[in-house]
């Protein structure tokens, strides 16, 4: 680290170093940390605006609490970058979101200062409650702090945790409000009251009154309760109560979350209360970086190597999400029954334009995937044609809703499963590798995996006449260009690089984005004199087994089912169950190459995510040639895996 550029930050190796800083040094540290974030996140990619907003809050947390003895749990974990910097990980920050480097979220195996891992929203309060109860049962005196963004409150899980929150726990929940209002704000008077309630003088007077009045013999405690109830009634009439106070929790705030001293005052008061407490802070997303402040949504997550002063222009035709949104708008124009439902991912799922054109038929239900699916079931049962767009890794939350509320009742809901592939940057919390496995076993479902925009449109149209639920899965990319160039339709839902009966040395059957690895590996094998054909499925369920078996010759050649998903219960296993009924299949050298009982985490720097998962080009060559290929044996394969 450049000590001249970062004179204060370069001295921070642990939370203990933060505690000894003066107020002036804390302000300098905040400024240096913002510059450090911008410099590094623009290179590695990652969540920028949200982390710029919590710089002062993160500093205050580590000045007041004693991590890791006091546990700090960040909801989602995407706004924990400053926390990582202050807890001894700044020297590794250039490895953020790279194989073997720092995770873009909190991670238990990365540091003792990350007591709970995350990646999905609304989990921090439930986890923190579990920690706090554990401490209470064990009679430990440490604190648990959950930092929860206001957006997480659109997810029901937060409210389930609040419903079980006991007052006498050493649990502090920080509500980080940066987009929507939680408390009732009424003009200048409310701002004045909020400011007054966040000062040292007010808190000291409050504490002094409680101690003095409570000690008056006989009448002390009843008198204090009377004073408190009168004060609360007066405050509520002038300022308004809030949700947290109404359910009996000690509430502090709101306070300017970008004022480190003010936040620190409230945190120390929360700590001294020795009870469950809500601390409400208001922060500015993108604080200190003008482009991010003016466009916090655009700078929520940035790509690696991006110009810090502007976002790259986005080609609306470049990926499946954008084209899905465009096609749905076109369909909705001619069919008034078509609705769009998403769970806090309007932009990510390509539905921004739909929301603008058809607001009465667009529903962003917040971070509530279960509700989104059941709500869509109600829409469909009521005669509408709902399309639900949810990321694959978030769809996991809605399994019971799919099984019980949609499939069991044979309700025709179309679910577009976005980000259905490995997530190289975000890692295991965002891998879209489980959806095929958990959807395949649900009776009456149809599953499609389009290769290009034409297929996407065809499957969306087909879903309108389906008798039950339809799932259309696609990755965070555009059409699979190599597949479009090398594979041709031989059957309605099947493309291949060869004709039935053609003599080959081996066959790869696959679907989804990994088809590009299959084609690259087939080229590498061809250079070595091994003729390998590729068959790509676009309809996974019901599987067209008779059509696929036309491409498997009677000769005993290796047949590989390649899958960018979990092996257990996946399409490959289901294919084999059907294929083994064919007599010639039993004699085949058949293998399923899929993610086998692991979360596909890349542990080594410079490793390709496919190779780490055991489904890279070299793994394909190993099976096909029957020996362990090395970079020397197959330089083309090594080159593919390193791209």
Catalytic positions: 285, 369, 397
313 DSSP assignment: P
Helix 23-44, helix 55-64: angle, nearest 10: 130
Strands (E), 385-530: 385-391, 414-418, 446-448, 470-473, 488-491, 494-496, 506-510
End-to-end CA distance of the chain: 29
| 3 state SS of 99 | coil
- Cα 467 to its chain centre, rounded Å, is 31
Other CB atoms closer than 10 Å to residue 421's CB: what's the count?
A: 21
CA 373 – CA 596 distance, rounded (Å): 29
The backbone torsions φ and ψ at residue 316, rounded to the nearest 5 degrees and listed phi first, read -60, -15
Cβ-in-10-Å burial (0-12, 13-18, 19+) of 217 comes to exposed
Please name the helix (run of DSSP H) or strand (run of DSSP E) that holds residue 163, with its range, or none: helix 156-163
Contact 375, 349 (CB under 8 A): no
Of 506, 579, 588, the C-alpha closest to 547 is: 579
Residues 6+ apart with CB under 8 A from 486: 497, 519, 534
Of 493, 486, 406, the C-alpha closest to 443 is: 406
CA 274 – CA 272 distance, rounded (Å): 5
Both tokens of 86, joined, read 């202050």
CA 18 – CA 167 distance, rounded (Å): 30
CA 243 – CA 228 distance, rounded (Å): 18
Helix 55-64, helix 260-273: angle, nearest 10: 40
Contact 561, 590 (CB under 8 A): yes
- Cα 131 to its chain centre, rounded Å, is 23
428 DSSP assignment: G
User: What are the beta bridge partners of residue 147?
Assistant: 74, 174
Residues 6+ apart with CB under 8 A from 533: 496, 497, 498, 502, 504, 506, 507, 508, 522, 551
CA 554 – CA 556 distance, rounded (Å): 6
642 DSSP assignment: H
Both tokens of 597, joined, read 């009982």
């Amino acid at each position: 680290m450049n000590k001249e550029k970062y004179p204060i930050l370069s001295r921070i190796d642990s939370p203990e170093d933060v505690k000894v800083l003066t107020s002036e040094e804390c302000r300098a540290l905040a400024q240096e940390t913002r510059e450090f974030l911008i410099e590094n996140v623009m290179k590695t990619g990652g969540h920028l605006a949200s982390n710029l907003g919590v710089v002062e809050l993160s500093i205050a947390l580590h000045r007041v609490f004693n991590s890791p003895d006091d546990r700090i749990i960040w909801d989602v974990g995407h706004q924990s970058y400053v926390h990582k910097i202050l807890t001894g990980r700044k020297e590794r920050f250039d490895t953020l979101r790279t194989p073997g480097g720092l995770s873009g979220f909190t991670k238990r195996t990365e540091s003792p200062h990350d007591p709970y891992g995350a990646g999905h929203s609304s989990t921090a309060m439930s986890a923190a409650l579990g920690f706090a109860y554990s401490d209470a049962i064990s009679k430990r005196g440490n604190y648990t702090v959950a930092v929860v963004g206001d957006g997480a409150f659109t997810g029901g899980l937060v409210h389930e945790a609040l419903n079980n929150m006991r007052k006498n726990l050493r649990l502090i929940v920080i509500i980080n409000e940066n987009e929507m209002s939680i408390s009732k704000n009424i003009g200048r008077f409310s701002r004045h009251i909020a400011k007054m309630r966040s000062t040292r003088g007010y808190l000291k007077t409050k504490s002094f009154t409680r101690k003095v009045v409570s000690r008056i013999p006989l009448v002390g405690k009843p008198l204090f309760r009377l004073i408190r109830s009168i004060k609360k009634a007066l405050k509520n009439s002038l300022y308004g109560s809030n949700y947290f106070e109404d359910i009996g929790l000690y509430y502090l705030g709101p306070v300017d979350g970008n004022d480190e001293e003010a936040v620190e005052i409230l945190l120390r008061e929360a700590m001294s209360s020795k009870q469950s407490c809500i601390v409400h802070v208001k922060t500015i997303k993108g604080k200190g970086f003008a482009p991010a402040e003016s466009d916090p949504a655009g700078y929520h997550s940035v790509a690696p190597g991006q110009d810090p002063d502007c976002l790259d222009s986005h080609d609306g035709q470049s990926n499946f999400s954008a084209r899905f949104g465009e096609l749905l708008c076109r369909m909705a124009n001619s069919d008034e029954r078509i609705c769009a439902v998403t769970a806090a991912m309007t932009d990510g799922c390509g539905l921004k334009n739909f929301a603008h054109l058809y607001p009465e038929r667009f529903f962003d239900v917040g971070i509530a995937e279960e509700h989104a699916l059941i709500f869509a079931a109600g829409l469909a049962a009521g005669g509408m044609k709902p399309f639900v767009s949810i990321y694959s890794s978030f769809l996991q939350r809605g399994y019971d809703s799919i099984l019980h509320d949609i499939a069991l009742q044979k309700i025709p809901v179309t679910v577009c499963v976005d980000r259905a592939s490995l997530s190289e940057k975000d890692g295991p919390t965002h891998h879209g590798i489980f959806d095929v496995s958990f959807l395949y076993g649900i009776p009456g479902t149809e599953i499609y995996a389009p290769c290009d925009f034409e297929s996407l449109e065809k499957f969306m149209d087909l879903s309108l006449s389906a008798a039950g639920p339809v799932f259309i899965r696609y990755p965070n990319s555009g059409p699979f260009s190599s597949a479009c160039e090398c594979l041709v339709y031989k059957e309605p839902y099947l493309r291949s690089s060869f004709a039935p009966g053609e003599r080959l040395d081996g066959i790869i059957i696959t679907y989804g984005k990994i088809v590009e690895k299959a084609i690259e590996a087939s080229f590498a094998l061809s250079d070595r004199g091994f003729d390998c054909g590729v068959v790509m499925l676009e309809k996974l369920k019901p599987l067209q087994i008779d059509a696929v078996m036309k491409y498997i010759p009677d000769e005993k050649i290796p047949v590989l089912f390649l899958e960018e998903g979990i092996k257990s219960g996946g399409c490959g296993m289901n294919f084999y169950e059907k294929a083994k009924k064919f007599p010639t299949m039993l004699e085949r050298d058949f293998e399923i190459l899929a993610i086998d009982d692991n979360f596909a985490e890349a542990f080594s720097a410079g490793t390709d995510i496919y190779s780490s998962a055991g489904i890279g080009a070299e793994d394909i060559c190993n099976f096909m040639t029957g020996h362990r290929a090395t970079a020397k044996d197959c330089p083309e394969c090594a080159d593919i895996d390193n791209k």
